[in-house]
Chains A and B, each alone.
Chain A
Amino acid sequence: MDTSQYLSVFMDECREHLQTLNQSLLELEHDPENSSILDQIFRAAHTLKGASATMGFNKMANLTHTMEDVLSKLRAKELTMTPEIVNTLFEAVDLLEILANKIGEGKEEDIEITGVVQALQLFNVGNVAAQPQQERRKNIQLRYLEAEKEEILAAINDNVQLYHFSVKMAENCVLKGVRVFMVLREIERLGTIVKSMPSLKDLEDEKFDLEFIVAVLMSNPPEELAKSISNITDIAQVSFEKIDPQNLPMEKRMQNQSVEERTKVTGQTVRVDIRKLDVLMNLVAELVINRSRLEAISSNLRSKDLEEVLEQVGRLTLDLRDSVLKTRMVPIETVFSRFPRLVRDLSKELGKEIDLVIEGGETELDRTVIDEIGDPLVHIIRNSVDHGIESPEERENAGKPRTGTVRLNAYQEGNNVVIAIEDDGRGFNVEKVKEKALRMGIVTKEALAEMREDQILELTLMPGFSTASKVTDVSGRGVGMDVVKTKVDSLGGMIRIHSEFGKGSLLEIRLPLTLAIIQTLMVQLGKEIYAIPSGYIEQIISLRQDEIKQVRSQQVCMLRGELIPIIRLQEVLDTPDAINHELEELDVVVLRIGDRLIGCVVDALLRQQDVVIKSLGGYLGSVKGIAGATILGDGRVALIIDIRAVA
């Protein structure tokens, strides 16, 4: 079968299951007794096995198969969870991730899996006969469901009573199935079997160890039955107890429910190619435009009925637009979920004790932003763990709890999403940052003297700040932080740093909710209309022509006592027939680019508008100075200015 067309679906699924595996393993590490987590892990491994085998990825199938073996033993309580097993399972998941990546590149064969497979198999064989078996035997318990309880209550009267017969086979028993059959036949001769643990089917299939319990309703004296059972060959021990029907041990229903709920949630999502959503978005935008055309016609016709309907249509189209936008939103949890593992591994590696607290995982961001923000966050968290949080001893000496805390929080604030990464580590040493910034030639002494503390801290985000070999010089931060900043900038976001030396630091990333829609200021330039992203606009001022001075080749003006450069936008965009040279009063849009202010002279300010960003398409590729295009209410195309090109 040619499976190549299913590869991308497989890869998507694969990634999802790997995420589940990672996440659930972490949960299991903290809560080894929780069988519903184990079930989840098992299901994920099982599905992966099936999928990879179907696709013909034998190594992955092989590895997941071995995992499944271990997991099913854990589920059947034939194995007890140990840190070694968890670690090996983690290793296996890591290997699966590598395999998945290689499969994406079409090179599954390159990866060696035997080491981990063998390690897993060791658990499979080694542990079974060992000591945990003893404990396990005690664990056999017969529990009832609500419906069974009712049946039992109905059947019980003065004569008929409920007994639990617990039967133990001899260690050297050869034909367990046969013996069980004889026991059951004996029981049925004298009473009615209600239930057994393990189930009757498992008993007949010899799927039990040595001991089993049978619940029996009977009127005959139980001693008689116990005696006749113990007469059967290879039966080592028989005991019974009378069960009070009002006090039946019940199945814990909570657990079952939670499993059901989980399956339900996963069943309610649909995987959609993001391009299809883009198409949908386009169609909706078209609809909005055509509605405004309709409105123009209706205002000519002056028909009350038409107006009413149009108003409805207008509201519906806006709702539709919002809904489509929402479908592109993904909870940031999908990114956050990989950090517990990251922090666990890092802190083990570094010998630190760290709690990672994650909040606001349900906060939603546009899919495109989600895809991009993962790596920068990894970087920041790695920094926090590596350089922010001190070693347990150091923390104790400083009078802090041994365990450090890294807090990851996401929340929505207006049209932005804020992601805050906070740690209670050693924080930034501002003096050292200053010193280093000077040494690296990033700032001048004079500039530094005038900077606020947060501005100084932001110097650590500058390229070149962290290239020195000994990063720990500056309380550690700054490893490739410029890369983080570049990425966040490209997403239209901002980074702020707060820190108190010795107490910890807080890094805030502010991102636009969506890259698909941005707030812009529409400006006129000659006959052309351009959109300037509002996020960059510091303020809008009005200047008289004579307030603009020429300093060498640069036009400048005074703003709040500071000299800022002035550019004529038409010169950047080669716009013909711009008229601002002839105007008396000039509209100037002051942009903030990094920490610089630049005044852009335009012909006229039109309006604020939320616009849907569209790409200029692959044919034109990236055009310098243009970030994209958008369609105006009248169907015309307006270009969105790329602020970085203006700077």
Chain B
Amino acid sequence: MKAKEQVVEETKQLIIFKLGEEEFGVDILQVREIEKLDQNITRVPKAPAFVEGVINLRGEIVPIVDLRKRFGLSLKPIGSDTRVVIVEINDNLVGMMVDAVVEVLRINVSAIEDAPQITKGVDAYFLSGVAKVGDRLIVLLNLDRALSAEEAKELRETDLGE
């Protein structure tokens, strides 16, 4: 915290993870835990293409979304840094497979700006904004959209309709 006379600025804690060289952030309040991928993912036939499969998270079956697939990025094999960020959306647990988890970062809400149409190759539809932290640019995910099993297009249409 800085000087006391200053108005306390609203901050957010983010989990920062990487897809390739790009850094992404999700609100820590939405993250349940971060897991190493030390087990096989069971493929689920007929599931949406970006759903890699399901894993056993201490007795609970949790679907895993490959964010690279979801965002249409080039695919990368699972490595030792690969992590699953387990988030909770609409009371359901979903795991996001990411290249690596970097850190927990506190940012000022005022540092968040709207995302440009295409940010680092990811459609702005999936994003809730970008945050500049020093010379880093953190891309913030809109989890509801990024993980929605519905087709993104359909959602966008209903959004426009509202």
Residues of A within 8 A of B (CB): 282-283, 285-286, 528, 572-575, 614-621, 623-626, 629, 631, 635-639
Q: How far is the CA of A615 from the CA of B92 in the complex (A)?
A: 12
In contact, A635 and B39 (Cβ under 8 angstroms): yes
23 contacts between A and B (CB under 8 A): A286-B59, A574-B45, A617-B60, A618-B90, A619-B89, A619-B90, A619-B92, A621-B149, A623-B44, A623-B45, A623-B47, A626-B44, A626-B46, A629-B61, A631-B59, A631-B61, A635-B39, A635-B56, A636-B56, A637-B42, A637-B54, A637-B55, A639-B45
- B70–chain A nearest beta-carbon distance, Å: 13
Which A residues touch B39, using CB under 8 A? 635-636
In contact, B56 and A637 (Cβ under 8 angstroms): yes
Which A residues touch B67, using CB under 8 A? none
- B51–chain A nearest beta-carbon distance, Å: 7
Interface: B135 (CB within 8 A): no
Choose among A282, A283, A617 the residue that contacts B92 (Cβ–Cβ < 8 A).
Answer: A617
In contact, A615 and B61 (Cβ under 8 angstroms): yes
Residues of B within 8 A of A (CB): 39-40, 42-47, 51, 53-56, 58-63, 89-94, 147, 149
In contact, A283 and B59 (Cβ under 8 angstroms): yes
Q: A617-B62, A637-B55 are in contact. List 11 more A-B contacts (CB 8 A).
A: A282-B59, A574-B46, A616-B61, A617-B93, A618-B92, A620-B44, A620-B47, A620-B54, A623-B46, A625-B46, A636-B42
Which A residues touch B51, using CB under 8 A? 620
Contacts A616-B63, A623-B44, A636-B42 given; indicate if A286 touches B58 (C-beta within 8 A): yes
Q: How far is the CA of A575 from the CA of B62 in the complex (A)?
A: 20
Nearest A residue to B60 via CB reads A282
In contact, A624 and B46 (Cβ under 8 angstroms): yes
Which B residues touch A616, using CB under 8 A? 44, 54, 61, 63
Choose among A574, A618, A638 the residue that contacts B42 (Cβ–Cβ < 8 A).
Answer: A638
Which A residues touch B43, using CB under 8 A? 528
For the complex of A and B, the 10 pairs showing the least CB-CB separation, nearest first, are A282-B59, A637-B42, A619-B92, A286-B59, A618-B92, A573-B45, A629-B61, A624-B46, A574-B45, A631-B56
Q: How far is the CA of A285 from the CA of B56 in the complex (A)?
A: 11
Which B residues touch A614, using CB under 8 A? 59-61
In contact, B61 and A575 (Cβ under 8 angstroms): no
Nearest A residue to B58 via CB reads A286
- B36–chain A nearest beta-carbon distance, Å: 13
Which A residues touch B58, using CB under 8 A? 282, 286
Which B residues touch A635, using CB under 8 A? 39, 56
Q: How far is the CA of A626 from the CA of B43 in the complex (A)?
A: 11
Q: How far is the CA of A626 from the CA of B42 in the complex (A)?
A: 13
- B64–chain A nearest beta-carbon distance, Å: 10
Which B residues touch A285, using CB under 8 A? 59
Q: How far is the CA of A629 from the CA of B91 in the complex (A)?
A: 19
In contact, A637 and B61 (Cβ under 8 angstroms): yes
- B146–chain A nearest beta-carbon distance, Å: 13
Which A residues touch B94, using CB under 8 A? 619
Which A residues touch B56, using CB under 8 A? 631, 635-637
In contact, B46 and A636 (Cβ under 8 angstroms): no
Q: How far is the CA of A616 from the CA of B92 in the complex (A)?
A: 10
Q: How far is the CA of A288 from the CA of B149 in the complex (A)?
A: 33
Nearest A residue to B94 via CB reads A619
Q: How far is the CA of A615 from the CA of B45 in the complex (A)?
A: 15
In contact, B46 and A639 (Cβ under 8 angstroms): no
In contact, B149 and A636 (Cβ under 8 angstroms): no
In contact, A617 and B45 (Cβ under 8 angstroms): no
- A3–chain B nearest beta-carbon distance, Å: 24
In contact, A629 and B59 (Cβ under 8 angstroms): no
Which B residues touch A575, using CB under 8 A? 45
